[in-house]
């Protein structure tokens, strides 16, 4: 999941996201296909339960159990925005490098899931 997250959302604290937004991002579709199939599959595997969809609580529990452990070059990290009481997650590299991901933000057409990558 680390490499899929890094590819889509980027590496470094500046690319942090609340888990509710991560779930919206992996749910994006274009022409009936998942926009981010690798990340979608990885998150579904750890945070979906039976026929229930992925939820931020289950994903957060899974991430907290692995936070700070490097797998290859990456690890998960998080931070709480005190004024919003919101936990945000990101992937960190061993050298604190930053890398932009392929996802380019929520556009005006977020409702239909198309983000211009197809």
Q: Which residues, in sequence order, are bridge partners of residue 30?
A: 33
pLDDT of res. 106: 81
Residue for token pair 């604290």: 13
For the whole model, what pTM was predicted? 0.86
Q: Give me the chain's average pLDDT, please.
A: 89
Q: Which residues, in sequence order, are bridge partners of residue 74?
A: 71, 93
Give whole-number Cα distances, 12 to 57, 75, 89, in Å: 23, 10, 10
Per-residue pLDDT band at 85 (split at 50, 70, 90): confident
Per-residue pLDDT band at 18 (split at 50, 70, 90): very high
pLDDT of res. 111: 41
Residue for token pair 């990101």: 90
Q: Percent of the chain beyond pLDDT 70?
A: 90
pLDDT of res. 107: 64
CA distance 102 to 99: 10
- Count other Cβ atoms within 10 Å, centred on residue 72: 9
Per-residue pLDDT band at 6 (split at 50, 70, 90): very high
């Amino acid at each position: 999941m680390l490499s899929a997250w890094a590819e889509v959302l980027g590496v470094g604290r500046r690319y942090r996201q609340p888990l509710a937004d991560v779930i919206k991002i992996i749910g994006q579709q274009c022409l009936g296909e998942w926009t981010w199939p690798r990340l979608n599959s990885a998150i579904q595997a750890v945070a979906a339960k039976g026929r229930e969809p992925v939820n931020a609580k289950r994903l957060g529990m899974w991430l907290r159990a692995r936070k700070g452990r490097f797998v290859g070059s990456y690890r998960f990290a998080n931070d709480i925005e005190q004024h919003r009481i919101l936990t945000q997650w990101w992937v960190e590299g061993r050298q604190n490098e930053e890398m932009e991901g392929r996802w380019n933000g929520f556009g005006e057409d977020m409702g239909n899931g198309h983000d211009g990558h197809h």
